[in-house]
Structure 1
Amino acid sequence: MRAAVVTSFTEPLQLQDRPVPTPGPGQVLVRIETSGLCHTDIHAAHGDWPVKPSPPFVPGHEGVGIVEATGPGVTAHEVGDRVALPWLGHACGHCDHCVSGWETLCVRQQNTGYSIDGSFADYAVADANYAVRVPDGVDPLDAAPLTCAGVTTYKAVKVAHIRPAEKVAIFGIGGLGHLALQYAHLVGGEVIAVDVSDEKLGLARDLGADHTVNAATEDPVSAIEALGGADVAIVLAVIPSVFEQAFASLRRGGRLVCVGLPPEQDGPMKLPLFPTVLKGISVIGSIVGTRQDLAEVFDLHALGRTRVIAETRSLEDVNSAIDEVLEGRAPARLVFEM
């Protein structure tokens, strides 16, 4: 089978011919149909974060495909099922986080395309209990971005506890942001889309954004203050200064939801303590959603409540696709179609 492999943090991915893996106990073998390219895959390939994966490995955690074989003891899926392989590839299932509905905080978790081989390949094996069924009617091309970009931003909107008519600023309109603004709109938020690209801001308006701010041509803090300030700011960018702008745009009692993860070398975000305390600001870290969150994301899409903006690429073009994302040329999500 073909697989795009990280052999070094300083070298492009290599397209290799590997044996088709065999599912072990509790695992399924999935023939990959589509796999989205997430910025996290790029961070993984470059070793950007403090806890680094170990080359060689196969990235990809937005994989969607068909179960071709099951290992011993599998009851969650059958051959022929279409499933998604999300970031949370495995958790212990027994700790207080797992049993309380916060499996994404499990300290024993394994992550698809990071600590275990992912979906930038023709086939992948996965823990059957953490492969999420894709409902009939959800196209694999749409399901791939929903598997991470969708569930991550859906969870961010959930933990923000947005009330109808609150102003919600989305910083970064791309693979994640174009979905975040739709979820914020669904729960009744007045959505402010912030980006440096007129093209992406045009997309935001098409998807229902109430206001747009081009941070390349105007100060986003002043622009959002002129609208009354944001009740919630969800940051999907990976630049520390953007987090600081989002914080400054909040009105009293506002909530800053941190989603994007800048490379380690870019330094920390500066958090001013006096405004945080005196204005009653909440700073919330939001990690990816659970299996239940992803099931809800798929159900919403099947109901026609969300649109996925994506373009397909070939796995052979994995390195040029990474360049597109890093240079901001990707319209929203890029998806490898096997």
Structure 2
Amino acid sequence: MATTRLHPLLSIWRTNRLIGSNRLGGANRGRGGPVVAYKTPWRPFSTSSQLQFKQARFRRVDPQEVMAQTVPATQKAAVFDEFGGKLDIREIPVPEIGPDDILVKVQYSGVCHTDLHVWLGDFPLQTKAPPIVGGHEGAGVVVKAGSNVTNFKIGDRAGIKWINGSCLCCEQCKRGSEPTCDKIVLSGFTRDGSFQQYAAVKATEAAPIPDGVDLANVAPILCAGVTVYKALKESNVKAGEIVAITGAGGGLGSLCIQYAKAMGMIVLAIDAGNKEEHCKSLGADLFIDPFKTNDLVSAVQLLTEGGPHGVINVATAARAMEESAKYVRTRGTVVLVALPRDAKITLDVFFTVVRAITVKGSYVGTRQDTDEALGFFARGQVKIPTEVVPLSELPAIYDRMQKYQINGRVVLDLWK
């Protein structure tokens, strides 16, 4: 019969208990407890190999190592090999990341009109050479992080924006305007974007997505939401003042109405009459159908008692932009957001000067703008109707976009 031996830790416990008991004359007399024996004979590790085996079994697991092991070598993506050519859903390698990058497992990606123009090849900026993977409204989870990354860790939720990287060293970056960086990197344009299951992005430009936010619904905020929110800030319209929104019933306009209301502005929506109910359901205070008046400038100034304090142009029409500079209030601001193809506008220089009108462009937003725009969405102050479809539907979505058959925003599920 084997001799019963105490485990060393239990032996220490027994000694401490006895010191406090009346059996060893301690202060805590009468409080000693039963001695528990370790029934199985205990012995130390007899060899170094046994010790190494035990250490290996209980080694702390590195989450980055585990996630790296789960990232496949290839993935599904939407690729085009020539501008305006076939959109091919095929297997491509998962991108490598640099020391300043993160790799995001993209769950959902919004589809923007800019993606359509990149595919058609009519965007007046230099892209990377095809093949190109489009997309710049990606939402997912970080699965890899470069050695220099400190603002994201494995498992964090992250968004991929139009701005994929900036130098942070040029004059524009130093002024806090990374969208106008001299060496800007653009998702789905100069670097493959979010129409793939795994996408690489510079960690400094990736957007932290708040917990509890639905990834499918938040995806369009990363471009459309940030764009209109920034434009409203650029308008300098204050709470209680009037902002006019052209093309108010569209995807950008619908978001712009909601951000403007959340910022305390009075909203004049300008769009076709069949959009009136929709615009007012989102919070628009006033509405004008430009197709039902022969003098839009007078109609706007009459309804707003002198003109809106600012105008956000998201309508893709040069005429709407020209008219907005005429009906805006004296010392007001006209913000150009939409990008009509080959558009040119003409302004009356004399009245633009003597009325001190500001006309400016607004182009997406900074990292701070992104955080603020996401904050409005996370608090439930901004909502957007989304249509979620599989990645394979992208060619059909581009066709519908060209026929103006999209309501709200379309979001791709990268895993269907």
* TM-score normalised by length of structure 2: 0.77
Question: Could you say which residue in structure 1 is the equivalent of 2:168?
Answer: 93
Q: Post-superposition shift, 1:197?
A: 5.9
Report the Cα distance in structure 1 between the residues aligned to 2:322 and 2:283, rounded to whole angstroms: 26
Report the Cα distance in structure 1 between the residues aligned to 2:121 and 2:341, rounded to whole angstroms: 9
Question: Could you say which residue in structure 1 is the equivalent of 2:348?
Answer: 272
Question: Could you say which residue in structure 2 is the equivalent of 1:107?
Answer: 182
Equivalent position SS for 2:133: coil
> Rg larger in 1 or in 2?
2
- The percentage of aligned residue pairs carrying the same residue is 38
* Residue deviations 1:123-146 (CA, integer Å, cap 9, x gap): 111111211110012111221111
Give 1:40-189 correspondences, 5 Å limit: 40-53=114-127, 54-172=129-247, 173-189=249-265
* Residue deviations 1:224-281 (CA, integer Å, cap 9, x gap): 12313222110012221221122232122221001111223xx311222122112221
Question: Could you say which residue in structure 1 is the equivalent of 2:391?
Answer: 315
Q: Does 1:14 align with 2:88?
A: yes
Q: Contact conserved, 2:313 with 2:320, CA < 8 A, in 1? A: yes
Question: Could you say which residue in structure 1 is the equivalent of 2:59?
Answer: none
Question: Could you say which residue in structure 1 is the equivalent of 2:312?
Answer: 234
Question: Could you say which residue in structure 1 is the equivalent of 2:289?
Answer: 214
Higher relative contact order (CA closer than 8 Å, sequence separation 6+): 1
How many equivalent residue pairs? 335
One-letter amino acid of the counterpart of residue 84, structure 2:
T
Alignment CA distance shift 1:218-1:16 (3 Å): farther
Q: Contact conserved, 1:170 with 1:191, CA < 8 A, in 2? A: yes
Report the Cα distance in structure 1 between the residues aligned to 2:134 and 2:392, rounded to whole angstroms: 14
Report the Cα distance in structure 1 between the residues aligned to 2:171 and 2:374, rounded to whole angstroms: 27
Q: Gaps (5+ residues) in structure 2?
A: 1-74
Q: Contact conserved, 2:236 with 2:333, CA < 8 A, in 1? A: no
Q: Contact conserved, 1:91 with 1:109, CA < 8 A, in 2? A: yes
Q: Post-superposition shift, 1:49?
A: 2.5
Report the Cα distance in structure 2 between the residues aligned to 1:119 and 1:218, rounded to whole angstroms: 43
Q: Contact conserved, 1:312 with 1:337, CA < 8 A, in 2? A: yes
Report the Cα distance in structure 1 between the residues aligned to 2:280 and 2:240, rounded to whole angstroms: 18
* Residue deviations 1:281-337 (CA, integer Å, cap 9, x gap): 110111111111111111121122111222112211112112222322211111112
Q: Does 1:291 align with 2:379?
A: no
Q: Contact conserved, 1:145 with 1:175, CA < 8 A, in 2? A: no
| Structure whose residues are more often strand by fraction | 1
Q: Contact conserved, 2:213 with 2:378, CA < 8 A, in 1? A: yes
Question: Could you say which residue in structure 2 is the equivalent of 1:255?
Answer: 333
* TM-score normalised by length of structure 1: 0.94
Q: Contact conserved, 1:132 with 1:294, CA < 8 A, in 2? A: yes
One-letter amino acid of the counterpart of residue 251, structure 1:
R
Alignment CA distance shift 1:204-1:12 (3 Å): farther
Q: Contact conserved, 2:315 with 2:338, CA < 8 A, in 1? A: yes
Larger mean Cα displacement after TM superposition, 13-22 or 282-291: 13-22
Q: Does 1:335 align with 2:415?
A: no
Structure 1 runs (4+) deviating above 4 angstroms are none
One-letter amino acid of the counterpart of residue 246, structure 1:
S
Larger mean Cα displacement after TM superposition, 68-77 or 154-163: 68-77
Report the Cα distance in structure 2 between the residues aligned to 1:196 and 1:8, rounded to whole angstroms: 36
Q: Contact conserved, 1:62 with 1:119, CA < 8 A, in 2? A: yes
Larger mean Cα displacement after TM superposition, 243-252 or 167-176: 243-252
Q: Contact conserved, 2:82 with 2:131, CA < 8 A, in 1? A: yes
Q: Post-superposition shift, 1:209?
A: 0.3
One-letter amino acid of the counterpart of residue 6, structure 1:
F
Larger mean Cα displacement after TM superposition, 208-217 or 281-290: 208-217
Alignment CA distance shift 1:247-1:63 (3 Å): same
Q: Contact conserved, 1:174 with 1:333, CA < 8 A, in 2? A: no
Q: Contact conserved, 2:103 with 2:144, CA < 8 A, in 1? A: yes
